[in-house]
Structure 1
Amino acid sequence: MSPFSKQIRKLISLNRLKPWQAIASIPLGLALAIATGTSALAAPPRTPDQNVECEILIVGGGLAGTATAYEALLAGRTVCITDITDWIGGQLTSQGTSALDESKKQRSLLFYARGYKELRDSLLNYYGKINPGDCWVSASCFIPSDANKLLFEILDGAAKKGGGQLKWFPNTTIKELEVSSDGKIIDGAIAIQHRAAPNTPPLNTEPLSAIVEDAYRYENSPRLTKTILHFTAKPSTETKSSSTPKWYVVEATETGEIIALADVPYRLGIDPLSHLNPSSPSAAGDPFCTQGFTYTFALQQTEQPQPQTKPSFYDRYLSYYSYDPKPNKFDFDSVFTYRRIWAPNAESRPKATVFRVGAPAPQDISMQNWVWGNDYRPGTSEDNLIYSREQLQQLGQLVPGSWMGGLRTETLRKGEEIALGFYYWLVAGTTDSHLGDGVKKPYPNHLLLTGLNSPMGTMHGLSKYPYIREGRRIVGRPSFGYADGFTVSELDISRHDYREDYYRQNLTPKMYRDMWVALAGLESVVAVRGASIEQISRRTRSSIYPDAVGISQYAIDFHPCMTLSPPEAKGNTERAGVRQAHGMAFPAQIPLRAMIPQKIDNLIVASKSIAVSNIAAAAYRVHSFEWSVGAAAGTTVSFALEKGIPPFQLVEDMPRVKPELMELRDRLEKNGNPTAFPDTSVFNLSWDDWKVW
């Protein structure tokens, strides 16, 4: 069998494509390389249309990328941001999850990064209240399109105040990285910016799955016209050695695109069971079981019933939809008000539902993000959304010039379908997959909000991009105590009761003892010397890091993958054991070591792709965390450019702390970006007030 035939078979197997679809999906350069046995050319098909110089290139305009830009602009830097959508703000805007996930104590003290506090102030000034939706899941629910406008105003203010320059590149994907001959420096990046082709509908008319592959191809298409961009370092006036990076690339994508494209070590999905991640349900790990992703949408209550059109694919997903597995826990009004984002004068209405919020009324708008509704939760190699490294190799996406974003388009499409089907189920369905037939009532007095001026800014009504809870996660560089590479683990943050019988029964005796040694508090020396496990008192705080550059607190919150493929299969269940780790977490820190990948010296991670286990990632993914890690990234790379010190050199002697690292942490704190929660100390064991809810 020829190499070309083998590649076609891999594509058919991985994507369930027809042979002719598989052939059409292979980039021309890769097809020629496979057919001839030569290497695919990395050069674009024509000279780039535009050269762009930056001090900092931020790939991904989500909340972490926005926060990175905010601090870098205040530091006077020239900042480029790219995003596949035309909005900044990520989960707040283009992903539609405009309900701030916050912990109660942290919110009461407003103990956040300065830019996040400015965002909250902007929302309050804009609406006259912090919670214009009167939702019950959060203290602040609002309209995504408004947040996009406010974030641009915040960045504009930062640029004016700090003297920085923002270069914004919407509808842009990174296609290739130019890496130095020694593999340590990203010298440049080739990107593709798209716009609607002449005489075609505007962008955001079709959902993402319809254009995502086109967006990663150099060639113009009947639908998209492309501009090829070449990002390089801006010449610096600062004195540096020739070995010092002249610019920095910040990974702030939602799925860890750049760490996959750069091929630095990373993990995906469930980590193997270990004494540091003792709640893992898999002895070997599973890269295909990641948390579910969600296309959000907005629906508005109306005075009169609305005509509702049943989607052609609706019956395929009907066996999935439910208010909740627990009888009578939720109903339509509680689901509607859960993430209600607009409710004029709600405070004057009668209280409704067990959550005591203003009763729903015509003109109210609700954003939907529901686990047994529009969550799509694939978990096998046949349907996983984010391709593993092995799958990327099989597909040829790691061949130069052949990167296509690293996502399975078919799964994106099915995520869009299940979301549109969930809308129809809410307004017209009568069957609940957990509670049976006839228990669900129709609610036809509602309208799916569509149009470029709608809350989601799309003609189809879905968010521009799905809400991604978990992507690829780097493995940090080896350091003292982390021979295999630095990672924040479950034990570093969880409040779990590890004396439960579950752990003694599921861990080996050695693993169980090692877990308790790792959990030991001030008795750690006694534990290492062989004290009985019963004598060991677990610490009642998170791990404390001398290189902490940010903060995070939220519950370890799972939306588990499903057991079988496809996820919507009748009778399918969540993957057993994934929720074992679900629960409360201590206030935690963001170590700089978690943001520094292996191999490449001028790449920093400022998103959910930092070095954390998949269990820890379930807590390190909310809005305030994204802003804090972005603030740390923006400050760190500005500091690195100023001092001529690559970030890895700040932590290479850990646990010994360099003066420059202390200077960086001091700068963060003085700028209003906390690196630790109040009273963080090995001697402070009282964190009972710091509960999430």
Structure 2
Amino acid sequence: MPVLTTDILIVGGGVGGCACALAACEAGLTVILTEESDWIGGQFTTQATPPDEHGWIEQFGCTQTYRQFRENVRDYYRTHYPLTPEARLNPTLNPGNGWVSPLCAEPIVFLRVLQAMLQPYIDRQRLTILYEYEATEAVYEADTVQSVTLQHTQTSESVWVNARYFVDATELGDLLPLTGTDYVTGSESQAETGELSAAPVARPGNVQAFSVCFAMSYHEGEDWTIDKPARYDYWRTFVPPLLPAWSGPLLSLTGLSPRTLQPVQYNFQPNREPNRAFAGLWTYRRILDKNLFQEGAFESDITLVNYPQIDYLGGDLSEASPAERARYVQEAKEQSLSFLYYLQTELGFRGLKLRPDVVGTADGLAKRPYIRESRRIKAEFTIREQHVSAHLRPGSTLAEPFPDSVGLGFYRIDLHPSLGGDNYIDVESLPFQIPLGSLLPERVENLLPACKNIGTTHITNGCYRLHPIEWNIGESVGHLLAYCLEKGVSPRQVRNTPTLLIDFQAALTRRGIPIEWPDNLVLSEGDPHRHAL
């Protein structure tokens, strides 16, 4: 078996993994980054989900490199696309005019920009990206990981990687059980966490629904109806087994408001829907607004479907066997196609066209499921609802300050329906920090998380799982490991030695990673008015 040696092995090429690689390579380290598919980018690309962001994102509240990434996306459109003169001159160009985010764009553009940002380090031989590889084994002793075995997903060829540090940036925390790192899944009990929104009993299998997203356009007068899915009749009558009860069959334009749990009627008007409309499905995650481009450049808008109707509640991917995982994903794909078929046939939108060219697959569905909840490390410090909830911090405009802050984030505590029968849990949060303690496993010394697998609870995962926050987590981890290798100290020593912590936080600030929010925030201006449906 071939053996590779590197400073850092990052398993998982999603948002956090890419940001971690950028930071570590910038600091001069050698990095091997793995990705299970043939695209890096995670939520942005393989999961086909434009970013969920707070209302201040254009001015502050994210890292400098995340802001550069966003501007590079806009520049890509200005350089390569026939924009109208007005759109080209718009400094806050939103190519899709989707209302979930001020930057809705095509997965391939996010991919191209990420590749361009990483390419200089590949050229300098600091970075190696291993596509279509997954971790299958690990060698560890006591509290130290020594090596990880990677296997090619197509050929089954294996490679053994020795590293000084290991980073789990997988979407489901897959490196944690392989390395003996203690973790939790599902929902904790209220007795464990003291959280107002927690249930009386812990339920390890009670994870949020995942979704298989897809892109579509609309062509009036044409018929792009797909073949009827095999179990369409099942999905057409499926009512999620939730409390409080769902409004009726899931495949419908009637659902529940996440904030009030009252029935809501969704709008769906392809190519005609107003740009800003709560519950407007077509414009929700629209990634290309044809009106921003020169006349005739595009026949239709393109929108990404990540709606409640495709939330899959049939099984927990994180603790499933490979066979079970494959079955759950296949069923979720059928559910997604059933919703498309419902729109085409029962609602009469036969001109809806599945767009495999947009997501880079043969079947027209995203390369990977959109994951909302992962295994989470048992951390030196766990973020709880009482740290970030607006209701539990009356009179405050900021979440609880953390002296070991290594970054910022802001989004509502937003949990989709879960396998244990919980309906939406939607709680107003306050602008929060990312504590270094939440990135440190209780025991293992040389493995860190860089995705949705940090030290949150089931509840606070709902506000720490979004794109800019995951980027900040990965970037801060990359810089932390570079700092540790330069100084000859451990991550735990950095957090627990005041002089080292202050020095490291200053280094983060110099690199454009803010660790404190401004004191004079007006919450109504930064509240994510675009709710993640």
TM-score by length of 2: 0.86
Higher relative contact order (CA 8 A, sep 6+): 2
SS of 2:427's equivalent?
Answer: coil
Given that 1:93 and 1:148 are in contact with CA atoms closer than 8 Å, whether structure 2 keeps it comes out as yes
1:495 maps to a residue whose letter is: A
Q: CA RMSD in A?
A: 2.3
Q: Which residue of 1 aligns with 2:84?
A: none
2:502 matched to 1:599? no
Please, which of 504, 525, 533 is the counterpart of residue 664 of structure 1? Answer: 504
Quick one: structure 1 residues 258 and 562, their matched pair in 2 at CA, closer, same or farther if it must change by over 3 Å? closer
Quick one: structure 1 residues 260 and 127, their matched pair in 2 at CA, closer, same or farther if it must change by over 3 Å? same
Distance 1:554 1:78 in 2: 34
Distance 1:624 1:415 in 2: 26
Alignment of 1:368-387 (within 5 A): 368-371=305-308, 373-378=309-314, 383-387=315-319
Alignment of 1:483-632 (within 5 A): 486-496=381-391, 498=392, 539-561=396-418, 575=422, 579=425, 582-632=426-476
CA deviation digits over 1:369-418, x for unaligned, max 9?
Answer: 001x211124xxxx33321xxxx7xxxxxxxxxxx669633222211111
Distance 1:282 1:467 in 2: 25
Given that 1:608 and 1:620 are in contact with CA atoms closer than 8 Å, whether structure 2 keeps it comes out as yes
SS of 1:109's equivalent?
Answer: coil
Deviation of 1:343 (Å): 2.0
Please, which of 267, 290, 294 is the counterpart of residue 344 of structure 1? Answer: 290
Distance 1:332 1:277 in 2: 44
2:73 matched to 1:137? no
2:442 matched to 1:442? no
Given that 1:112 and 1:673 are in contact with CA atoms closer than 8 Å, whether structure 2 keeps it comes out as yes
Quick one: structure 1 residues 552 and 605, their matched pair in 2 at CA, closer, same or farther if it must change by over 3 Å? same
SS of 1:415's equivalent?
Answer: helix
Distance 2:172 2:75 in 1: 33
Larger radius of gyration: 1
Distance 2:403 2:332 in 1: 41
Deviation of 1:553 (Å): 0.8
Deviation of 1:55 (Å): 0.5
Given that 1:257 and 1:406 are in contact with CA atoms closer than 8 Å, whether structure 2 keeps it comes out as no
2:527 maps to a residue whose letter is: K
Alignment of 1:10-49 (within 5 A): 48=1
CA deviation digits over 1:483-532, x for unaligned, max 9?
Answer: xxx20000111112x5xxxxxxxxxxxxxxxxxxxx5xxxxxxxxxxxxx
Deviation of 1:332 (Å): 4.1
2:9 matched to 1:114? no
Quick one: structure 1 residues 281 and 550, their matched pair in 2 at CA, closer, same or farther if it must change by over 3 Å? closer
Q: Which residue of 2 aligns with 1:227?
A: 157
Quick one: structure 1 residues 250 and 406, their matched pair in 2 at CA, closer, same or farther if it must change by over 3 Å? farther
2:130 matched to 1:169? yes
Q: Which residue of 2 aligns with 1:19?
A: none
Quick one: structure 1 residues 547 and 281, their matched pair in 2 at CA, closer, same or farther if it must change by over 3 Å? closer
CA deviation digits over 1:409-458, x for unaligned, max 9?
Answer: 322221111111111112222xxxxxxxxxxx2101121112xxx11110
SS of 1:168's equivalent?
Answer: strand
Which is strand-richer, 1 or 2?
Answer: 2
Q: Which residue of 1 aligns with 2:81?
A: none
2:32 matched to 1:86? no
CA deviation digits over 1:573-613, x for unaligned, max 9?
Answer: x525x52xx13211111111101112211001111110011
Quick one: structure 1 residues 405 and 538, their matched pair in 2 at CA, closer, same or farther if it must change by over 3 Å? farther
Distance 1:270 1:548 in 2: 25
Deviation of 1:286 (Å): 1.1
Given that 2:290 and 2:299 are in contact with CA atoms closer than 8 Å, whether structure 1 keeps it comes out as no
Distance 2:292 2:264 in 1: 28
Q: Which residue of 1 aligns with 2:268?
A: 331
Quick one: structure 1 residues 311 and 640, their matched pair in 2 at CA, closer, same or farther if it must change by over 3 Å? same
Q: Which ranges in structure 1 are unaligned for 5 or more consecutive residues?
A: 1-47, 196-224, 234-246, 350-360, 393-403, 430-440, 478-485, 499-518, 520-536, 564-573
Q: Which residue of 1 aligns with 2:242?
A: none
Range with bigger deviation, 550-559 or 340-349: 340-349
Q: Which ranges in structure 2 are unaligned for 5 or more consecutive residues?
A: 79-86, 88-92, 238-249, 256-262, 271-279
Deviation of 1:117 (Å): 0.9
Deviation of 1:307 (Å): 4.1
Deviation of 1:669 (Å): 0.4
2:8 matched to 1:56? yes
Quick one: structure 1 residues 611 and 558, their matched pair in 2 at CA, closer, same or farther if it must change by over 3 Å? same
Please, which of 247, 251, 259 is the counterpart of residue 176 of structure 2? Answer: 259
Q: Which residue of 2 aligns with 1:640?
A: 484
Quick one: structure 1 residues 108 and 194, their matched pair in 2 at CA, closer, same or farther if it must change by over 3 Å? closer
CA deviation digits over 1:37-71, x for unaligned, max 9?
Answer: xxxxxxxxxxx1x2211111001000000000011
Deviation of 1:547 (Å): 0.9
1:86 maps to a residue whose letter is: D
Deviation of 1:89 (Å): 0.8
Quick one: structure 1 residues 616 and 277, their matched pair in 2 at CA, closer, same or farther if it must change by over 3 Å? farther
1:139 maps to a residue whose letter is: P
Given that 2:216 and 2:352 are in contact with CA atoms closer than 8 Å, whether structure 1 keeps it comes out as yes
Given that 1:298 and 1:365 are in contact with CA atoms closer than 8 Å, whether structure 2 keeps it comes out as yes
CA deviation digits over 1:533-566, x for unaligned, max 9?
Answer: xxxx664421111111111111111211256xxx
SS of 2:52's equivalent?
Answer: coil
Quick one: structure 1 residues 666 and 546, their matched pair in 2 at CA, closer, same or farther if it must change by over 3 Å? same
Alignment of 1:37-436 (within 5 A): 48=1, 50-97=2-49, 99-104=50-55, 106-128=56-78, 130-157=93-120, 165-180=126-141, 183-195=142-154, 225-233=155-163, 247-274=164-191, 276-308=193-225, 309-319=227-237, 320-325=250-255, 326-333=263-270, 334-346=280-292, 362-371=299-308, 373-378=309-314, 383-387=315-319, 408-429=325-346
Given that 1:115 and 1:627 are in contact with CA atoms closer than 8 Å, whether structure 2 keeps it comes out as no
Distance 1:82 1:260 in 2: 18
Q: Which residue of 2 aligns with 1:524?
A: none
Distance 1:641 1:630 in 2: 17
Deviation of 1:637 (Å): 0.5
SS of 1:57's equivalent?
Answer: strand
Deviation of 1:136 (Å): 2.0
Given that 1:303 and 1:362 are in contact with CA atoms closer than 8 Å, whether structure 2 keeps it comes out as no
Quick one: structure 1 residues 154 and 83, their matched pair in 2 at CA, closer, same or farther if it must change by over 3 Å? same
CA deviation digits over 1:314-342, x for unaligned, max 9?
Answer: 11111221223235442344312211111
Distance 2:419 2:491 in 1: 39
SS of 2:208's equivalent?
Answer: coil
Deviation of 1:260 (Å): 2.2
SS of 2:359's equivalent?
Answer: coil
Q: Which residue of 1 aligns with 2:362?
A: 459
SS of 1:590's equivalent?
Answer: strand
Quick one: structure 1 residues 685 and 370, their matched pair in 2 at CA, closer, same or farther if it must change by over 3 Å? closer
Distance 1:330 1:275 in 2: 41
Aligned residues: 485
Distance 1:318 1:176 in 2: 41
Distance 1:79 1:191 in 2: 15
CA deviation digits over 1:128-178, x for unaligned, max 9?
Answer: 363111212221111112211110101124666xx6611000110101111
Given that 2:61 and 2:408 are in contact with CA atoms closer than 8 Å, whether structure 1 keeps it comes out as no
SS of 1:345's equivalent?
Answer: helix
Distance 2:436 2:75 in 1: 34
Quick one: structure 1 residues 296 and 685, their matched pair in 2 at CA, closer, same or farther if it must change by over 3 Å? closer
